[in-house]
Each structure stands twice: as structure tokens, then as C-alpha cells.
Amino acid sequence: MLTSLSIRNVVLIDALDLRFDAGLIALTGETGAGKSILLDALTMAAGARSDKGLVRKGADKAQSSASFYLPPDHAIFSLLQQAGIDSDPSEDITLRREVRADGRSKAFICDVPVTIKLLSQVGMQLIEVHGQNDGRGLLDPTTHMALLDSFAGHGNLLGNLAKSYDDWRSAVAQLTELEAKQNQASDDRAFLEHAIAELNRLDPKADEDEALARQRQFLQAAEGAVTELSQAQSALSEAGPVEGQLGTILSSLERLSEKLGTADNAASKAVKEASGAIDRALLEFQEARGAVDMAAAAFNIEPGELDRIERRLFDLRGAARKFGVMVSALQEHRVQLAHELEQAENITANIDAARKTAAKFKAHYFKLADALTASREQAAKQLDAQVIAELPALKMDRAKFLTHIETGPDTARGRDKIRFIVATNPGSALGHLDKVASGGEMSRFALAIKVALAGNSAPVMVFDEVDQGVGGAVADAIGRRLAGLSQNGQVFVVTHSPQVAAKAAQQYRIEKQSDDAMTTTRVNEVQDAAREEEIARMLAGEIITDEARAAARKLMQAL
């Protein structure tokens, strides 16, 4: 329900703060007092089209703020969450709109800046306005399908249909993609076969480039090493006489040691130590020459090995540049190309499978869509009958109402185009609501539809002059139906009928005040004696009589 409305500088309203209760709320006052301004301010806050003409003369901007209290499970909270707006279900949701004198506009939800589009989306779920200037209610034909589906209780069927439609369109998109690939399959296949053959000849190995780079570095350093080792071998070879001399000396020392025998003296010990040292030196010399020979043998490199490695690196890096990958990824790229070639070769089979899948989903969609159409046609008959049954009491007993269904494009909501069409006079052709019905007739048609759809409406409904051109018993019937609707949602009615106003739970009088400087619209709640006086004014006109007051009391007591 709408709990409060705050308006600043909207046309003739300078400052206005109103609070509302649940139930039926009547807005009354003389013609031209500004009731339409109040509705403009409300719909402005809810995202309706607004322009700088709403800005009060002399002000820099117009502002309207509307607060709503909603049940915790209302869909609005999910919508706000998706939009990234934090909201507490225990607190009011506030919609605010500013329109500047230069035409620029700002929108806010719970004080968070939002787009006008989002404000309008939220507002359309909170407020329905039915009347001559209604562009968001029955005059918007896109709402007619939703109203019929709500009446028929198509929630589950629509959910299943939407999923079926998504499955079908996804399958069609996949088929289209495969068919597009098939058109390039011949060229793709030739390229893939050539690329795979080239990589097969190259036969890259995992981390091969790193290993080759290390080996090339070794080979480049090996050239200098071989020269050094050759010089070492030569030096050791040229040292041959030294080895012979050491052998001769060792033999002499061994003979001397034999002559000395086992004598245990310093001379004998010294000879033995000298003999051991020469023996060790001779052994070390021989080991050194063998080690140098082994080192030289380790550098026995096959001729042309460095050239072969450099050519291999060149080929690998060239292939990597050609295919746009790292050298280390060439092997994986070959596997990927082989997979793509397999897909290209199997594309015909894939297309056949995709066609079958798309056909299956299409058949399922059409089955559900046909079932939905049949259910809508049945529900349309019931809705038409209930709406028509309401019309006589609304002084429209000769009017006709028909829910027109025709085949439309395939959508997630079915294959139907739905529009309410009416005829207000005998012999008149059926036509669209906005082309045939007057403002008052529009509101009464809306009232009849809403009575038939009881419980399937926005939290706030506004009926603008639904009692236009009627009075007496018809106005009383309208008031009773509005009061009945207000049991399921808050209802505002702009009315000149005392019979309608008397049925309200809350009543506001709208009046215009003027002085030499400016004209201002004021809105005041009327209660008890003041309300009785207002309803008496509506009955009697400018001069209020005691009879009018008595009649007003009777109308209010009949509530």
C-alpha cells in the first residue's frame, strides 16, 4: 500500500505531505481544483513520463516521493536485489523523482540513484492508474495478456513454456552455428590437414626448446675446452722424460734400501721415505695424464652437431611464430588442431543431431503453446462473461466486451496476441479501448475487469473519474465495487459522486486557493463533521442545506 506522498513544487502544489491508510481512499473537490496534479505527482514518482511542465513557476525543480509498504514476499524485493539495491522488507520502499526546470530528470529508489527505466519497472508493479489519460493500465495493450494469464492462473504453464522456448532457441542457435561452420568446413579442413602434416614432420617434443638451448650453450663452450685439453695432453706427453727419470730414481732408492737391509737408523728411514714419495709422485703423474685423456674423450663431439641443433631451434621457433603459440605449446597445438579436424570431419553428423534436437524442442514448445492458447481461449470466455455481467450495474448494460486472441510471433509467453476490445453503443463495431471508450467508460471497464480479476492487481489502484456521467444507483454500485476491490489492495478514486465518496475509508478534499500573487492547490483530509460537510457539498452544490447534510449522514451510515 501507499503509505505517504511528499510533493514539492509540482505545478500548483508548493509543498504537500500526505499519509494514507489501507482501503478505499476518495479524492474529491471542485473541477479544476488540481486532482489531476496530485495524480501526475504520484505517477511521476513511479516513473511515468514527466517533463519540465510539471515544475512550479519560479522553482528550479519539481520533486515527488512515494513510500510503499509491501508484504515480505513481494516480487519487488527480488527485482531490487537483482538491481543491487539493498532493501529491508520490514521498511517502506521509497520511490523519488526530480524534474528540473531545464528538463533534466533524476530517479531514486530507497535513496539510491537509478535509471528512469528501473523506476518505471518498479512503479508499474506498484501502481495501476485507470482513466482517460491512463498510459500504464488498460490503454497499454501489453498488459492485457498478463491480466488474462493472471485471471486463468497460468503461472506454472508460463514457466514451463518459457523454459521450453529457451531450450528451443538455444538449440536453433547451436544449429545455426554448426551450419555456419559447415560453410567454411572445406577451407578449414585443407588448412588443418596442412598444419597437422607440417607439425607431424616437425614432431615437437615437450620442453624440447629448453633442452636444445642448453645443449647449444654447451657445444658453443666446448670448442674452447677441446683446445685447452689438447694442450694439456701435449704438455703431459712432452713430460715423458720426467716420468722416466722418476722411475730411475725410484729404482736407485729401492736398491739402496735393500743394501741397508733392516738397519733401524735415521739414514735407512730417510731412504724409505724418499722412495715412497717418488713412488707416489709417479702414481699421481700417471693418474693426472689418464684424467686429462678422459676429459678430452668426453668432448669427442660429432661434427656438425651444433649446426644441427641450431637448425632445429630455428625450425621450432619459426613454427611457433607461424601458429602464434609458444614453442613449448607446439605439441599441445598439434593435438588441438587434430581435434578441430575431427570436428570438421564430423560436422555433418553433428548438424543432423542438432536438427533433431531443435525439432524436438520446437515440437515441445508448440505443444505447450497450443495448450496455453486453448486455456487462454477458455479463460477469455469466462473473463468476458464476468466483465459483461458487471456492466449493467455500471450503466453500461448495452456495452460489449471481448478478449480478442489472434496468432502472433513465437515468444517465451506463447504464440498469441491478446487485446481487450469493446463497443459502448448498440450497433457500434468492436474496437480498441483507447479508440472507443471515453475516460469515464474506460474507468468503468477497468473497474469491471478488476472486479473479475479480484486479487490479481497491483498493491495500489487508481480510478480517475470512474463515475463520470452517472449518479444514483449506478454511482452506489461503483462505490460498492471499489470498496470491495480495496479489500485486496489499496484503491484511490478521483470522484465527483457523493455515493462513491461515502464508501471510502479515508477522504481528501482538494481545493485551489488564490491571492494576488499566486494560486496554490491544497489537499486536506476530511474527517467526521468535515467529511459530512464535504459529501453534503457534493450532493447540494454551492449552497449546503440541512437536507443535504442529512442525506450525507445517511450515505455515510450506509457504508
Q: What is the pLDDT of residues 299-330, one digit of tens each?
A: 655 656 677 878 888 888 888 888 888 888 88
Tens-digit pLDDT profile for residues 105-123: 999 999 999 999 999 999 9
> Per mean pLDDT, which range of 27-31, 177-181, 214-218 is the poorest?
214-218
Confidence class for position 428, pLDDT limits 50, 70, 90: confident
Q: Which of 223-227, 252-256, 357-361 has the lowest mean pLDDT?
A: 223-227
C-alpha torsion sign, points 378, 380, 384, 387: positive
User: Other CB atoms closer than 10 Å to residue 529's CB: what's the count?
Assistant: 9
Average confidence score pLDDT of the chain? 83
Q: How far is CA 26 from CA 141, 408, 501, in A?
A: 27, 41, 5
The length of the chain in residues reads: 559
pLDDT, position 75: 85
pLDDT > 90 in the chain, percent: 33
CA distance 551 to 532: 9
Is 0.85 topped by the overall pTM? no
Least confident of 28-42, 387-401, 443-457: 443-457
Split at pLDDT 50, 70, 90, the class of 232 is low
What integer pLDDT is reported at residue 162 of this predicted model? Answer: 95
pLDDT band at 240 (very low <50, low <70, confident <90, very high): low
Please check the confidence at residue 253 and state whether its pLDDT lies above 60: yes
Contact predicate 131/464, CB 8 Å: yes
pLDDT tens digit sequence for 326-357: 888 888 888 888 887 777 777 778 888 999 99
- C-alpha 491/C-alpha 460 separation (Å) is 6
List the chain domain ranges. Answer: 201-342
Q: Amino acid identity of 225?
A: A
Give the DSSP H or E segment for 93.
strand 93-100
